[in-house]
Amino acid sequence: MGMINVNKLTKDYGHGRGIYDVTFEVGKGETLGFLGPNGAGKSTTIRHLMGFSKPQSGNADINGMDCRKMHSEILRNVGYLPGEVAMPDGLNGQQFIRMMKEMRCCGKNDRSAELMERFQLDPCADIKRMSIGEKRKLAVVTAFMSDPEILLLDEPTSGLDPLMQEVFIDFIRDEKSKGKTILLSSHIFSEVEALCDRIAIIKDGKLISTVDAAEVKHGLKNEFTVAFRTASDFDRFMASGIATEWSDRRSGKCTVCVPDEDTNSFLKALSGCRIKSLDEHSVSLEEYFMHFYKSSKKFAVGGVSYA
């Protein structure tokens, strides 16, 4: 049993829109990245976890609380950052924070002052005059001020400037180190790479696969382009048995894909040759997942299969 359990959750909005049989879990202390193209079903799933929507079938629970039946406990105990922040226009930041404190029963766990400083939020401004980023920061402060153990973050850094995105990622790293359980939907691969232990991929409302982040990173290939000093250096390398993706004797160049486990033999083969230049091009998590975004085909993890 995970800390967060989603079990065959289905909400069909018609015309192929919605989520279908979505099943996954997030273990205690784990950060699960939730990736998928626009309209894939990430926010719908997260809203069900918050108990805001009633599923047609299936269920979800958080820390043993049924998300639908114990909606108010979920609201009090889970740090939720919605994809789209909607706030009452008639209040200023401080009034909104006070209102949320009463709802969340912060008590002695009140971290609002620390969070306002960390995210450089001026709480005195009227909400209706706040920029999107400022509203976002206000949402961050209210979501985390009661120090919740479980965080549901729906595209948490959208609307934040690059410096604030960094502040946010550092903040989530700290939360992780305290053993918090986190579900994070995102389109930002660097964020996913920096924070997530596992990644669940959703497309067209269906969970396609769940992969281990370290395994994906390990399976990514490193590509090197080598320019040799002379034709004989080129020939020596080609005779070493290292497979090349591309080679051209005339220019004395070749391109080699090196899985992590073959790095030593690649370096050994190179050490016998004189080299003009060596350029590395690592396949990033972004390129890896772009493949998924573009095609609906499944792809291998670890062995890295690209269409």
Ligand X SMILES: Nc1ncnc2c1ncn2[C@@H]1O[C@H](COP(=O)(O)OP(=O)(O)OP(=O)(O)O)[C@@H](O)[C@H]1O
Minimum gap (Å) between residue 208 Cβ and ligand X: 13
Question: Which residues are bridge partners to 78 per DSSP?
Answer: 150
Using CB under 6 A, which of the segments 13-21, 94-102, 118-126, 210-218 binds ligand X? 13-21
User: Which residues have C-beta within 8 Å of that of residue 52, sequence separation ≥ 6?
Assistant: 71
- Of the pair 14, 107, the CB lying nearest ligand X is at 14
- Of the pair 17, 229, the CB lying nearest ligand X is at 17
Which one of ligand X, Mg ion, none is in contact with 246 (Cβ closer than 5 to 8 A by kind)? Answer: none
60 contributes a contact to ligand X by CB under 6 A: no
Q: Pick from 4, 26, 40, 213 the residue near ligand X by CB under 6 A.
A: 40
186 contributes a contact to ligand X by CB under 6 A: no
Phi, psi of 293, rounded to the nearest 5 degrees? -60, -35
Minimum gap (Å) between residue 18 Cβ and ligand X: 5
Q: Pick from 17, 173, 268, 294 the residue near ligand X by CB under 6 A.
A: 17
18 contributes a contact to ligand X by CB under 6 A: yes
Which one of Mg ion, ligand X, none is in contact with 41 (Cβ closer than 5 to 8 A by kind)? Answer: ligand X
Query: Which amino acid makes up residue 60?
Result: A
83 contributes a contact to ligand X by CB under 6 A: yes
Minimum gap (Å) between residue 11 Cβ and ligand X: 8
Minimum gap (Å) between residue 242 Cβ and Mg ion: 45
- In whole angstroms, how far apart are CA 259 and each of 4, 90, 169, 244, 303? 35, 57, 29, 12, 9
276 contributes a contact to ligand X by CB under 6 A: no
Length of the chain: 307
36 contributes a contact to ligand X by CB under 6 A: yes
77 contributes a contact to ligand X by CB under 6 A: no
Which one of Mg ion, ligand X, none is in contact with 94 (Cβ closer than 5 to 8 A by kind)? Answer: none
Q: Pick from 8, 39, 232, 267 the residue near ligand X by CB under 6 A.
A: 39
Minimum gap (Å) between residue 181 Cβ and ligand X: 20
Residues that bind ligand X (CB under 6 A): 13, 17-18, 36, 38-44, 83
